[in-house]
Amino acid sequence: MSDESRYGIQRGLFNSFCVFIIIAALYQSCTPFRTRTTTTRLPVTYQRRFCDENPLNDYSNRNPDHITVTLSDQCFANHIKLPLAWDSFFAQKSQNPDDWASVWCTGHTLPSEPRMYYQDMANIFQGCRESTEQSDDFYLEGKGTITFRRTSTRPQYAAKAQENEVEATYKVTPINPSSGDPAGYSLTIKQCYRSGEKILCWGIATNKTDAPTTLDFRESHAVDDEGNSIVNGYGSGFMFPGSSISYNGGSEHLLPNVPTKFTVTINDPHLNVRRINIEVRTQWERREDTLVYKDVPVQ
């Protein structure tokens, strides 16, 4: 074979190889990337059991805009009761690659499967509230944190939660009557605080006898430290919340030695008032008493 023929063959083979490389490169560039599939595996530290200790975090009577819980793994430890005031909420997990969460609704036979950090909590909390009169009640297991954020409220419970928070803010300063002799019972004012154009107070009534007895609130009268006089007629001012025997809350059937809460509402728009004097007329069995509370602090 001549040198010229051998060179022609080599050149043809080289050209063919180049064409193959070019075609292969074009094919590769036109082929779509394959979708990477992943399988969700249970976290190594997940265990379907309760911890020996399950501290209760009870938010039933509160109404924060959000609650953040630090999760623990290997068992269900965090016992949570969400606020009654929350009608709906959104649950958001932390986003670290190893984070996950599982929910066990109180009263359910089994918990939910763990949800990884990239998975939505979806309807995982359905069934954790047995009725509208109860809180969402559940246990948590996982890694990382989970934040519950309020998205809508139930007005009746939100108002009660606000009242509870206001009461908790102020110092309790029990005041007993400076005059009057409530034989057979005690009537102590615990707190008075400003709420808009009203002064709100609450206290405790206790039946000191050995038999159930009815206590009636009659008229009440208040004078603040600026000399302003406020008169409350029959059945107003002093009340027993949720009284079962009086349409206006002015009477309550007190059980022996059972402290029972009462409230006082005083319409006093004078915002600089710091102390108030209160007089209330009561009826205990067939006896009428007039009790006076002097210099009650208004917080």
One digit per residue, pLDDT tens: the chain, 299 residues? 555 555 556 666 566 666 666 666 555 555 444 444 445 567 878 999 999 887 899 999 889 999 999 999 999 989 999 999 999 999 999 999 999 999 999 999 999 999 999 998 878 898 899 887 889 999 999 999 999 999 999 998 988 888 777 666 666 678 888 887 789 999 999 999 988 889 999 999 999 999 999 999 988 999 999 999 998 765 568 989 876 554 556 889 999 999 999 999 999 999 899 999 999 999 998 899 999 999 999 98
What pLDDT is stored for residue 36 in this prediction?
42
What pLDDT is stored for residue 123 in this prediction?
83
* 7, containing H or E segment: helix 3-30
Amino acid letter for position 57: N
Distance (Å, rounded) from C-alpha 295 to C-alpha 223?
A: 10
Distance (Å, rounded) from C-alpha 149 to C-alpha 146?
A: 10
Task: Work out whether strand 56-58 and strand 78-81 pair parallel, antiparallel, or are unpaired.
Answer: parallel
What pLDDT is stored for residue 59 in this prediction?
92
Amino acid letter for position 135: S
Greatest Cα-to-Cα distance within the chain, rounded to the nearest angstrom: 140
Distance (Å, rounded) from C-alpha 69 to C-alpha 266?
A: 40
What pLDDT is stored for residue 23 in this prediction?
66
What pLDDT is stored for residue 33 in this prediction?
41
Q: Which residues contact 127 (CB under 8 A, 6 or more apart)?
A: 105, 108
What pLDDT is stored for residue 92 in this prediction?
92
What pLDDT is stored for residue 91 in this prediction?
94
What pLDDT is stored for residue 293 in this prediction?
94
Tell which residue, 68, 81, 63, 64, has the closest CA to residue 129: 81
What pLDDT is stored for residue 277 in this prediction?
95
8 Å CB contact between 164 and 98: no
Q: Which residues contact 8 (CB under 8 A, 6 or more apart)?
A: none
What pLDDT is stored for residue 31 in this prediction?
45
